């Protein structure tokens, strides 16, 4: 198995450990840029032993590697939680607001509760110390672990959505704006799992085809 060369470490966690905050949760999301399906957020507290793990930013891994490493995250984590923000919430709050809301729900489920956070540039309003550097999923073991759980959980849901809505290709493009997804939207219309506030979906709803009812499928 080939593992990417970019290796996370414990630098951001150590900043919190030095201040006496030993339960540091990593937080990451998957699906913010998709046109359909949820945005999925995971929060993970790993044991504070500074050991090396195979965890990497989920975008650097194959699907098989992601599944293998996500199972290892679940095995070794002190605690973890996964939450979704569904299209209706995204349309109501916008994608950033919905992502923040899902992240806070996931954090509230952690037991024991975190004492500090490291996120992938997600500047949450919390009353505990937070580090939110860009690209943290490639730099922090805790955030990489969260990215693995968020990505694999969301991908599983998109496979289920593919079976519920045949013809859209959700199993392949996972709800992102791929050419096949654009073509399916033109031919089949908008489902209840599409984010209607997103410009490409809103444009379809504003200019319906005479051949198809774009409100629902």
Is the separation of the CB atoms in 41 and 153 below 8 Å? no
Is the separation of the CB atoms in 12 and 140 below 8 Å? yes
What b/e sequence results for 88-119 when a residue is b if at least 16 CB atoms lie within 10 Å of its CB, and e otherwise?
Answer: ebbbebebeebbbbbbbbbbeebeeebbbbbb
Cβ-based burial of 213 (10 A; exposed 0-12, middle 13-18, buried ≥19): exposed
DSSP 32-68: TT-SBS-EEEEEEE--SS--------GGGS-HHHHHH
Compute the distance between CA of residue 175 and CA of residue 112 in angstroms, rounded to an integer: 34
Mean of the per-residue pLDDT values of the chain: 92
Q: What is the phi/psi pair of residue 207, to 5°?
A: -130, 70
Task: Return the beta strands (E) in the chain as ranges.
Answer: 24-30, 39-45, 79-85, 116-119, 130-131
Q: Nearest Cα to 151, choosing from 12, 51, 34?
A: 34
SS3 116: strand
pLDDT in tens, 137-195: 999 999 999 999 999 999 999 999 999 999 999 999 999 999 999 999 999 999 999 99
Compute the distance between CA of residue 73 and CA of residue 107 in angstroms, rounded to an integer: 16
pLDDT in tens, 58-71: 888 999 999 999 99
Q: Nearest Cα to 103, choosing from 38, 176, 10?
A: 38
Is the separation of the CB atoms in 175 and 84 below 8 Å? no
Query: Model confidence at 28, in pLDDT bands (50, 70, 90)?
Result: very high
Instruction: Supply the pLDDT for residue 2.
Output: 52
């Amino acid at each position: 198995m080939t593992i990417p060369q970019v290796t996370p470490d414990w630098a951001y966690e150590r900043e919190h450990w030095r201040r006496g905050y030993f339960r540091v949760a990593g937080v990451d999301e998957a699906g913010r840029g998709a046109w359909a399906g949820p945005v999925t957020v995971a929060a993970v507290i790993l044991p504070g032993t500074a050991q090396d793990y195979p965890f990497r930013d989920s975008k650097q891994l194959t699907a098989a590697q992601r599944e293998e490493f996500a199972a290892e995250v679940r095995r070794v984590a002190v605690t973890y939680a996964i939450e979704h923000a569904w299209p209706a919430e995204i349309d109501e709050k916008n994608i950033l607001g919905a992502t923040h809301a899902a992240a806070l729900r996931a954090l509230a489920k952690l037991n024991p509760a975190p004492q500090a956070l490291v996120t992938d540039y997600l500047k949450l309003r919390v009353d505990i110390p937070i580090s939110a550097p860009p690209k943290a999923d490639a730099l922090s073991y805790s955030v990489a672990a969260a990215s693995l759980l968020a990505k694999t959980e969301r991908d599983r849901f998109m496979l289920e959505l593919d079976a519920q809505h045949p013809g859209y290709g959700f199993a392949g493009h996972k709800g992102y704006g791929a050419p096949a997804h654009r073509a399916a939207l033109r031919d089949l219309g908008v489902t209840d799992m599409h984010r209607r506030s997103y410009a490409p979906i809103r444009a379809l709803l504003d200019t319906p085809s005479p051949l198809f009812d774009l409100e629902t499928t």
